[in-house]
């Protein structure tokens, strides 16, 4: 892969830098199992250097008017547009997803960047009336300081943009801890940002493993806000560690998202969106549809259509394929173990359930699109996220049972219902315990200007992106101005 350097360095204070200990680890192609590149294996000492660079750069960046910060971010967006094909090639190589998917994802990251670049012109506070005569009351936004940003690998360029742009427009500087499986995507974003004229130290990119490079960032006393996209288990630790010193924490965590198919649904549309929700991006979406809840009256018809469509799916890394590999072998092995355990507990595998080992898949990390049924809603597999192309069919008798099952989950990220009834659709959107509710489409597909986030163990109540992310990355200050009219 010509665009990926042999060894991916960190970006610290505007410069590429190897890990101070000189250590590296290998990053493998999920599509072929071959080594793509080596990666700087950063540790606490590297993180400390990056945080110091961010701390030094922050006052000047915050002094720059937000409109001008927006102009700089706009230049980064232009750089991303110019390098869109190159970024997409890297995303495709690191994740194993098709180039056209990677190109679209890069387009999404660009749209998000554009949105926040323009927020420099709209970094609104609020002006209101005071209860006291001759007194004026308003709020203004201030940055928090250094932002520690930690991301997952599933949609790597979108995840970078989702965090970096809102953090920077608010006047924070940042240390981004790249996902260990997608280091080159974060590296090229850092490169584009430097070339676009972002002042040194405003964005620093640290490569490495979670325990070795992520944990020291979370624990660093100079990091004022930690924004994390990843698993609920790691999110829980981050909440505790950063919460101890009252750092602000934003957690975008896992999901076990229900898609309900009612007896009045357009079944072909429901099948289309079930397949996309469960299997696109190889099921590696926090918002993937992993619990498909189907009314008894249409269960058999829906099941038959779903199986037929699933059997047609093409699996591989090309533009002609419907889904690619999962991100690494560890994930694949965990998934296979979970499916096996579910089978031992009585679940039936009606599609997939195995690793693909045909000639074109043999060295990659491919899981066959998998559908289970006869699974107890309380079984481990019903309550835990697998983050792969695996979904479960549940049979329910009516709307009340569907809603109850949808809400019977430790997670509450997204949910979808397929129905022609306005009453059912609105009732579902009102009552489902999720941060996102969708009618007649998939469980995924958030827009850059809309707030995203979940209830229960899917997050800690914050919302990113949208203008709501500005609340994650800024502090509101009340300003009261008192005047004496006699002195005018």
- Between CA 146 and CA 52 the distance in angstroms is 9
- Using CB under 6 A, pick the residue from 211, 304, 340, 447 that binds ligand NAD: 211
Binding-site size, ligand NAD (CB under 6 A): 26
- Between CA 425 and CA 441 the distance in angstroms is 12
Is the Cβ of residue 391 or residue 419 nearer to ligand NAD in the bound state? 391
Name the residue whose CB lies closest to ligand NAD. Answer: 210
The reply to whether 447 sits near ligand NAD by the rule CB under 6 A is no
- If DSSP codes are grouped into helix, strand and coil, which group holds residue 205? strand
The reply to whether 234 sits near ligand NAD by the rule CB under 6 A is yes
Is the Cβ of residue 144 or residue 160 nearer to ligand NAD in the bound state? 160
CB of 209 to ligand NAD, least distance (A): 6
CA-angle at 96, arms to 350 and 193, nearest 5°: 140
Instruction: Identify any residues that bridge with 480 across adjacent strands, giving them in sequence order.
Output: 137
* Count of CA atoms in the C-beta half-sphere (13 A) of 32: 10
Annotated active-site residue in 94, 252, 385, 464: 252
119, exposed or middle or buried, with CB in 10 Å at 0-12, 13-18, 19+?
buried
Residue matched to tokens 């506070």: 125
CB of 37 to ligand NAD, least distance (A): 17
- Using CB under 6 A, pick the residue from 254, 289, 316, 325 that binds ligand NAD: 254
> Considering only 9-17, 25-33, 228-236, 290-298, which stretch makes contact with ligand NAD by CB under 6 A?
228-236
**Residue among 277, 259, 286 nearest 459 (CA):** 286
- Between CA 10 and CA 19 the distance in angstroms is 7
- If DSSP codes are grouped into helix, strand and coil, which group holds residue 216? helix
- Between CA 84 and CA 400 the distance in angstroms is 47
Q: How far is C-alpha 435 from the geometric centre of its chain's CA atoms?
A: 14
What is the Cα Rg of the chain in Å? Answer: 23
- Using CB under 6 A, pick the residue from 113, 171, 230, 364 that binds ligand NAD: 230
The first and second tokens of residue 50, run together, are: 């990056």
Residue 286 known to be catalytic: yes
Is the Cβ of residue 231 or residue 239 nearer to ligand NAD in the bound state? 231
**In the range 270-299, which residues lie near ligand NAD by CB under 6 A?**
286
Annotated active-site residue in 119, 286, 385, 464: 286
- Between CA 179 and CA 330 the distance in angstroms is 15
Is the Cβ of residue 143 or residue 214 nearer to ligand NAD in the bound state? 214
Is the Cβ of residue 204 or residue 419 nearer to ligand NAD in the bound state? 204
The reply to whether 212 sits near ligand NAD by the rule CB under 6 A is no
Is the Cβ of residue 150 or residue 294 nearer to ligand NAD in the bound state? 150
Residue 475 known to be catalytic: no
- Which sign does the torsion angle of CA 309, 336, 343, 407 carry? negative
**In the range 136-195, which residues lie near ligand NAD by CB under 6 A?**
150-154, 177, 179-180
Return the active site residues: 252, 286
Instruction: Tell me which residues touch ligand NAD (CB under 6 A).
Output: 150-154, 177, 179-180, 209-211, 214-215, 218, 229-231, 234, 237, 252-255, 286, 385, 387
């Amino acid at each position: 892969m010509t665009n990926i350097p042999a060894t991916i360095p960190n970006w610290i204070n505007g410069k590429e830098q190897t890990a101070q200990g000189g250590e590296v680890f290998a990053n493998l192609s999920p599509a072929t199992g071959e080594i793509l590149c080596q990666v700087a294996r950063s540790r606490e000492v590297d993180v400390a250097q990056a945080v110091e660079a961010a701390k030094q750069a922050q006052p000047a960046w915050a002094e720059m008017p937000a409109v001008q910060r927006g102009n700089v971010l706009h230049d980064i967006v232009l750089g991303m547009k110019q390098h869109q094909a190159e970024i997409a090639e890297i995303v495709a190589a690191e994740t194993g997803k098709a180039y056209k998917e990677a190109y679209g994802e890069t387009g999404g990251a660009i749209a998000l960047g554009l949105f926040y670049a323009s927020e420099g012109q709209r970094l609104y506070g609020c002006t209101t009336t005071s209860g006291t005569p001759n007194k004026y009351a308003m709020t203004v936004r201030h940055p928090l300081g250094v932002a520690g940003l930690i991301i997952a690998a599933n949609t790597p360029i979108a995840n970078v943009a989702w965090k970096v742009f809102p953090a920077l427009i608010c006047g924070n500087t940042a240390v981004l801890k790249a996902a260990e499986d997608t280091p080159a995507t974060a590296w090229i974003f850092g490169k584009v940002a430097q070339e676009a004229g972002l002042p040194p130290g405003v964005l620093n990119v640290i490569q490495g493993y979670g325990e070795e490079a992520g944990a020291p960032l979370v624990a660093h006393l100079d990091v004022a806000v930690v924004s994390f996209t990843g698993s609920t288990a790691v999110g829980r630790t981050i909440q505790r560690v950063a919460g101890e010193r009252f750092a602000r924490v934003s957690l975008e965590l896992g999901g076990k998202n229900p898609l309900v198919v009612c007896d009045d649904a357009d079944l072909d549309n429901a099948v289309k969106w079930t397949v996309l929700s469960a299997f696109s991006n190889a099921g590696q979406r926090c918002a993937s549809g992993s619990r498909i809840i189907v009314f008894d009256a249409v269960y058999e018809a829906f099941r038959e259509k779903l199986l037929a469509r699933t059997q047609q799916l093409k699996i591989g890394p090309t533009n002609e394929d419907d889904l690619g590999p999962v991100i690494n072998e560890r994930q694949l092995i965990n998934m296979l173990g979970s499916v096996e355990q579910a089978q031992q507990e009585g679940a039936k595998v009606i599609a997939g359930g195995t690793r693909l080992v045909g000639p074109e898949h043999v060295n990659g990390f491919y899981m066959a699109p998998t559908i289970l049924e006869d699974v107890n809603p309380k079984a481990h597999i019903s309550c835990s996220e697998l983050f792969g192309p695996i979904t479960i069919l549940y049979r329910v008798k009516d709307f009340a049972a569907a809603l109850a099952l949808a809400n019977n989950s430790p997670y509450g990220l997204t949910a979808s219902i397929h129905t022609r009834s306005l009453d059912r659709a609105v009732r579902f959107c009102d009552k489902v315990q999720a941060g996102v509710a969708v009618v007649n489409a998939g469980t995924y597909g958030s827009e850059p200007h809309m707030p995203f986030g979940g209830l229960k163990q899917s997050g800690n109540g914050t919302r990113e992106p949208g203008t709501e992310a500005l609340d994650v990355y800024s502090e509101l200050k009340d300003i009261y101005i008192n005047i004496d009219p006699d002195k005018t």
